[in-house]
Structure 1
C-alpha cells in the first residue's frame, strides 16, 4: 500500500517542523519569482518544499515515498513493514521476480 496523500501531507508538516531554517527560507521567498513562473506565492512555496523533501530523501538514499513512510510510521517496525509492502507492489506491477527485485534494490527480504 503506497503512502496516501494524507500521510504525505503529515510527512511534509513534520519535515518542515523539524527544519526551522527551511521554514524561514520558505516564508521569505520573493513573490516575484512565483509571479515569473505564473504561480501563486503559495504554489511556489509548496513546490520549493517538495523539492527540499525530495532532496532530503535522495540524500538519505530513499525514495520520497519511503521518507514519507519513515516520518509517519508509528514505529521502526511499522515503517519497515509498510516499506516492504510497497516494494512488493512495485515489483508485482513491474512484473519482476521478488528475489530479483530485492537484489536490484539492495533489499533484505
Structure 2
C-alpha cells in the first residue's frame, strides 16, 4: 500500500523542520507570484514545498513516496519492509514479474 496522505503530511512536516532555510524561504514568498498564478499564498507555498520535497527525493535517487516512507518509518527495517511492499504492489499493477521489476529498478528482493 502506498504512503497515506497522513504519512505524507507527517513527512512534509519533518522535512521542513529539518530545513530551516527552506522554511524561511517559504515564509517569505512574494505574494505577487501567487497572485500571478491565480493561487492563494497558501496554495503557492504548498506547491513550492512539494517541489522542494520532490527535488530532494530525486537528489537522493528516490521516488517521492519512498522519501515519505523514509521520513515516517520507525526503523530502517520498517522503511525497507514498506518500500518493498509498495514496489510489489506497483509491479503487480503493471503486470510485471517481480524479479524482472526488481532488475529494472535495481531493487534487491
1:42 aligns with 2:42: yes
**Distance in 1, Cα, partners of 2:48 & 2:16:** 11
Instruction: Extract structure 1 runs of 4+ deviating beyond 4 A.
Output: none
Where does residue 32 of structure 1 map in the other structure?
32
Gaps of 5+ in 1: none
The TM-score normalised by the length of structure 1 is 1.00
Secondary structure of the equivalent of 1:92? helix
Post-superposition shift, 1:90? 0.1
Post-superposition shift, 1:34? 0.1
Gaps of 5+ in 2: none
Q: CA RMSD in A?
A: 0.2
**Distance in 2, Cα, partners of 1:14 & 1:79:** 16
The TM-score normalised by the length of structure 2 is 1.00
Aligned residue pairs total 109
**Distance in 2, Cα, partners of 1:46 & 1:76:** 28
